[in-house]
Amino acid sequence: MNLLKTIVLAVVVLLGFNPISAAMRGMNREPDSLTLKEAFKDKFFIGTALNLDQIWERDIKAVAVVKKQFNSIVAENCMKSMFLQPQEGQFYFKDADRFVAFGEQNKMQVIGHTLIWHSQTPAWFFVDKKGKDVPREVLIERMRKHIQTVVSRYKGRVFGWDVVNEAILDNGEWRKSKFYQIIGPEFIQLAFQFAHEADPNAELYYNDYSTAIPEKRKGIMAMVQQVKAAGGHISGVGMQEHNALDNPSLEEVEKTILGFADLGVKVMVTEMDISVLPHVRPNMGAEIGERYAYSKETNPYEKGLPPGKMAELGKRYVAFFNLYLKHQDKISRVTLWGVGDGDSWKNGWPIPGRTDYPLLFDRHYQPKPFVKDIIALTQKKKVIKKMNKSKYLYPRDYMADPSAHVFENKIYIYPSHDRESGIPENDNGDHFDMQDYHVFSLEDVQDEVFDHGKVLDVKDIPWSGRQLWDSDVTEKDSKYYMYFSMKDKNDIFRLGVALADKPYGPFIPQDDPIKGSYSIDPCAFKDEDGSYYLYFGGIWGGQLQFYRNNKIVVPNELPKADEPALTPKVVKISTDMLEFSEQPRDLVILDKNGMALRQGDTEKRFFEASWMHKYKDKYYFSYSTGDSHLICYAIGDNPYGPFTYQGVILSPVVGWTTHHSILEFKGKWYLFYHDSVPSGGKTWLRSMKVVEIEYDEDGHIKPIHGLSS
């Protein structure tokens, strides 16, 4: 057997084939050798719309492209109601069955399009035998029967459905379709309800064109919010993206991506094409009933697309895909509306008889020259340079106490929102009278921060009194939990929790504070075994001195200077993430001799601003010393402690104290903190910053000079 192996290997070498170098080439492939679905595999699904010749595999060249390049498919027409149920009660499933089977055979994501649409709905849907509009309850029942018959037939086989198509006009108003006229705006909520009842596990989408028009975007967002508030199950919103060479602007498309994502739904590009032909009117969308007369002037590329125009088209496509990649954490799918140029509906709309070039593959199903440039976008790797100086993250407003985490491959920051309250300074911190939280995100530490806006306000919290202080956020099972500190109606600090479906909120608060909670500055920590812990506490205005053994004591005094210092608290969080699962424990910080730090050791003892992170299997508890203005840290082997004091992370900055957080991102470690330089030293008007930190070979954090970093 060994002799046989030697002979085979010798033949392989003689033939010039090196299996090792072949494997290495596979690990670092050029764009020309990658397919679209390979390139975007870990980004989002890449899809295409199929016509009947492709569904039935009569168009051999097109089918080969579909199988090679795409991993998601949608039926261009055969699943619309006029084809599935041309007469009441008479369903025709032959083409749709074949479409779903094609997707299953090729292990593709299958999308159903579309259940409810004002266009391509058979006329009988809305009228009785006399041709008059049917009553509201009749149309609702027809809608229910159609949706549930179709969706239940493909239950567990169709990944997601375009439930409602194009219900909002460009001006943001409701389209006065027959569905709207007879049922009212509730028809959308009912459509999603019926679809969810038929297949509770299918994703359900709203789909529309020209979503980058600000008025339309606002109208769609308002509609989705209404449906969700009424209990509707909307999984995502589709941007059709029937675009032109000069509109819409990328800026407005990005606003749409962010706006839709802020609704707590997935975002997808559902029908993309880019027309190279002259406009009939500005902001031409995809209104199927809009038609115009043919003229030679509107069909300039009948004999082929000039190289200059091809380059312009390529530049536009690359720009869009670059934007989609930027927001790959929000976008789940990008679907092209057709396989090759000859398949595109744009050849016949809005002017029949024209020759357009709107897709990635030409009329012979060959990739256009820029397809490799789109693929190349996925192969770029950012070089992360060392951050030698700190930088301010959001100079346009005062944000403090930054708790930073990595969610969805991006840095999210949860700060307090400082404001000029007019309240005189005092040791209780009454002048820190914050009233809301914003969420910020960063694609990279060197990038500009993005403000996701206000996500929680004092007035939204049922038990609120005043002073919305430090907060932190953690994730479990795709839900996000914000733990925050605020005074209740009795002016006692308590800890609350608010929930969101996305890391950027909005966060919905619980009706009551966490039972048994007190003091300030919660830090939520997820350990590697799946346990969650909350660290909290702060003296002086943070009221920690009010408590001993988790109960209020009288008098409310700090320990004497030679007595053990007050400790921060640690508690395991319940499995539902809404309560403590136990009584909070003391987190003891020891000196090098194993003795608890003393209250009089103001440059080492705990004051406020807990943070926990892990480095090389050790637990690092960091905190502020308050009136001595240091950020220090201690190391332990257990999330409960004890912890041994190690040293200073950050020396004093301009301002009173420095709340902070520490995280790892792309192989580097960063400290997020704040100072009061931009406000001229006003301690209650702080600005958040970030700086890179380093560990030495023994795991010690190299100290940072606060005034010169």
Q: What is the pLDDT of residue 315?
A: 96
Taking each helix axis from N to C end, the angle separating 250-261 and 307-326, rounded to the nearest 10 degrees, works out to 30
pTM: 0.57
Helices (H), 230-384: 250-261, 307-326, 371-377
**Which phi and psi (to 5°) does residue 213 adopt?**
-70, 120
Cα 543 to Cα 488: distance, rounded to the nearest angstrom: 13
The 3-state DSSP class for residue 49 equals: strand
CATH class of 37-377: alpha beta
Give catalytic residue positions. Answer: 401, 608
What is the CATH number assigned to the segment(s) 391-693? 2.115.10.20
Cis peptide before 652 (omega within 30 of 0): no
Q: What is the pLDDT of residue 384?
A: 55
Cα 253 to Cα 370: distance, rounded to the nearest angstrom: 21
Paired tokens of 481: 């939990």
Cα 574 to Cα 494: distance, rounded to the nearest angstrom: 17
Cα 638 to Cα 51: distance, rounded to the nearest angstrom: 60
C-beta of residue 624 within 8 angstroms of C-beta of residue 657: yes
Residue written as tokens 């259940």? 115
Residue written as tokens 């009842």? 197
Which regions of the chain carry the CATH code 3.20.20.80? 37-377
C-beta of residue 440 within 8 angstroms of C-beta of residue 452: yes
Residue written as tokens 């035998």? 129
Q: What is the pLDDT of residue 385?
A: 63
Count Cβ atoms within 10 A of the Cβ of residue 296 and give its class: 0-12 exposed, 13-18 middle, 19 or more buried.
Answer: exposed
Q: What is the pLDDT of residue 292?
A: 85
Q: Give the residue among 535, 520, 450 at the shortest CA–CA distance from 485.
A: 520
Cα 31 to Cα 266: distance, rounded to the nearest angstrom: 28
Radius of gyration of the chain (CA): 30
Residues whose CB falls within 8 Å of the CB of residue 430, separated by 6 or more in sequence, listed in order: 423, 424, 467, 541
Reported as a single tens digit per residue, the pLDDT across 451-485 is: 999 999 999 999 999 999 999 999 999 899 999 99
Q: What is the pLDDT of residue 657?
A: 67
Using the Cα atoms of residue 228, residue 413, residue 656 and residue 700 in order, give the sign of their dihedral: positive
Q: What is the pLDDT of residue 43?
A: 95
**Ranges of residues in the chain whose predicted pLDDT is under 70:** 1-31, 381-386, 657, 709
Reported as a single tens digit per residue, the pLDDT across 92-148 is: 999 999 999 999 999 999 999 999 999 999 999 999 999 999 999 999 999 999 999
Taking each helix axis from N to C end, the angle separating 214-229 and 186-198, rounded to the nearest 10 degrees, works out to 60
Residues in the chain: 709
Which regions of the chain carry the CATH code 2.115.10.20? 391-693
C-beta of residue 85 within 8 angstroms of C-beta of residue 115: no
Q: Give the residue among 115, 44, 108, 30 at the shortest CA–CA distance from 72.
A: 108
Eight-state DSSP code of residue 135? P
**Which phi and psi (to 5°) does residue 287 adopt?**
-70, 105
